[in-house]
Structure 1
């Protein structure tokens, strides 16, 4: 998961389908609880922080605060 998040942060290319599927399964499946104690995920969205962060990272142009940092 760490490598997948790093790839989203470091590469501007479209997210490969396989990685997109892995991220979705991790964010919404049984593994989602593994990242539950991470504080910045809880700050992003208390109910499902990982899913929210992944959505924002995949679509930075939809979030002004992300787009302005590029």
Structure 2
């Protein structure tokens, strides 16, 4: 797997969540689609959640979705 440029992975995650605004995803599920490391995606999701862009909607397994999905 290629190492994405700084911020690129977060943008890929945002793009995926934007394409599916009503769904919540685990890092592993996103990893299978965008073909990047699930650990790196999990870290990106934590950062995006701290920034208020995403929200964790489930603890086990940790699932995330956009904070304000557009209708």
TM-score class normalised by the smaller sequence: 0.3 to 0.5
* TM-score for the superposition, normalised by structure 2: 0.34
More strand by share: 2
Higher relative contact order (CA 8 A, sep 6+): 2
Largest Rg, 1 or 2: 1
Q: Which has the higher helix share?
A: 1
